């Protein structure tokens, strides 16, 4: 059987740790030691592209080269998967539509304003999904609505803005929604309709950058699904601090199904919906803060 790793440089444990620490310092993403193979494999193309022979030299490149900032972003992009698709985790989205949206409609009736944040939005599928769900609910059509999608990777944001997707991204999209919210643009490809796009804004944001988070407005709901898995406990706390800060009191945080806030302090309260468990930033005792 042919080997898939033939002729490629091996990453020593020492090189792995140096690169891992460098990435961690930049964005809080922690790569566990059992992921050395994954890191090695994902960074091989970077070494090939730069004509660098080994990972030690690559580490020095990231430390000292004039292009180091751009390369660090490229490395982080390679290391983080951007796997996502429309209408992912349908049970959670159902609970969001049937249980949270009525609450939000009532709570914000006086301002008629709604803000959602898709934190770690990757190529935009989640942010557009949320906009489609809001439209489909019929509750917010003449409201001031904005879905903010942010990601660390500038490259995926370019894809998100283009809003064109293929079959893999659409594999969980119900046919009627496909019909309503997408326009065919080629063989097996569709584009998100302009009225949905009009509700969505994308921006570059490193979740580990506390100061930079001020650019994200106060939101009613944060979707941060399958993002925490990249962080260690300390970075998770920081990220949760950022999210808490950007959530209105009483606002909701929805995580991926494999994630929870156990052992991360109790800044959020667990809310048992009929169809899902979500977290909520507690109301301020005096009711201030909105």
Query: How many other CB atoms are found less than 10 A from the CB of residue 204?
Result: 13
59 φ/ψ angles, rounded to the nearest 5 degrees:
-60, -45
- Which one of the listed residues 46, 88, 115, 151 is annotated catalytic? 151
The one among 113, 171, 180, 204 contacting other proteins by CB under 8 A: 171
For the residues of 138-170, what is the DSSP string, one character each? TSSTTSEEEEEEEES-HHHHHHHHHTEE-TTTT
Instruction: Kindly tell me the number of DSSP H helices and DSSP E strands found in the chain.
Output: 11, 10
Residues 162, 124 contacting (CB under 8 angstroms): no
Q: Is 171 a catalytic residue?
A: no
Q: How far is the CB of 31 from other proteins (least distance, A)?
A: 9
The one among 112, 113, 154, 168 contacting other proteins by CB under 8 A: 168
What's the Cα-to-Cα distance from 22 to each of 25, 56, 151, 270, rounded to whole Å?
A: 5, 12, 19, 35
Q: 66 or 211: whose CB is closer to other proteins? A: 66
Q: How far apart are CA 218 and CA 224, in angstroms?
A: 15
Within 43-62, the residues that bind other proteins by CB under 8 A are: 45, 48-51, 60
Q: 188 or 214: whose CB is closer to other proteins? A: 188
The one among 10, 25, 53, 83 contacting other proteins by CB under 8 A: 83
Q: Is 151 a catalytic residue?
A: yes
Site stretch for other proteins (CB under 8 A), options 22-30, 35-43, 112-120, 146-154: 35-43
Instruction: Answer yes or no whether residue 175 interacts with other proteins by CB under 8 A.
Output: no
Catalytic positions = 42, 151
């Amino acid at each position: 059987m042919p080997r898939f790793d033939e002729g490629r440089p091996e990453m020593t444990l020492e090189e792995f740790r140096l690169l891992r620490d460098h990435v961690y310092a930049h964005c809080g993403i922690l790569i566990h030691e059992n992921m050395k193979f994954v890191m090695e494999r994902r960074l091989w193309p970077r070494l090939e592209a730069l004509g660098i022979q080994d990972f030690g030299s690559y580490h020095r490149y990231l430390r000292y080269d004039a292009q180091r900032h751009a390369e660090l972003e490229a490395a982080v992009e390679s290391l983080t998967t951007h796997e996502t698709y429309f209408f992912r985790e349908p049970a959670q989205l159902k609970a969001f539509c049937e249980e949270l949206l009525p609450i939000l409609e009532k709570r914000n009736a006086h301002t008629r304003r709604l803000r959602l944040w898709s934190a770690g939005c990757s190529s935009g599928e989640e942010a557009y999904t949320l906009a489609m769900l809001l439209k489909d609910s019929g509750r917010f059509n003449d409201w001031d609505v904005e879905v903010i999608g942010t990601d660390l990777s500038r490259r995926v944001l370019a894809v998100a803005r283009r809003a064109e997707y293929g079959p893999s991204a659409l594999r969980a999209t119900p046919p009627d929604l496909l019909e309503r919210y997408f326009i065919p643009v080629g063989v097996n490809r569709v584009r998100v309709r302009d009225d949905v796009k009009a509700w969505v804004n994308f921006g570059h944001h490193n979740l580990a950058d506390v100061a930079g988070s001020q650019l994200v407005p106060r939101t009613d709901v944060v979707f941060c699904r399958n993002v925490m898995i990249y962080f260690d406990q300390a970075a998770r706390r920081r990220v949760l601090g950022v999210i808490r800060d950007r959530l209105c009191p009483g606002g909701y945080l929805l995580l991926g199904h494999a994630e929870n806030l156990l052992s991360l302090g109790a800044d959020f309260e667990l809310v048992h919906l009929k169809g899902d468990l979500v977290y909520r930033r507690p109301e301020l005792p005096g009711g201030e803060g909105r």
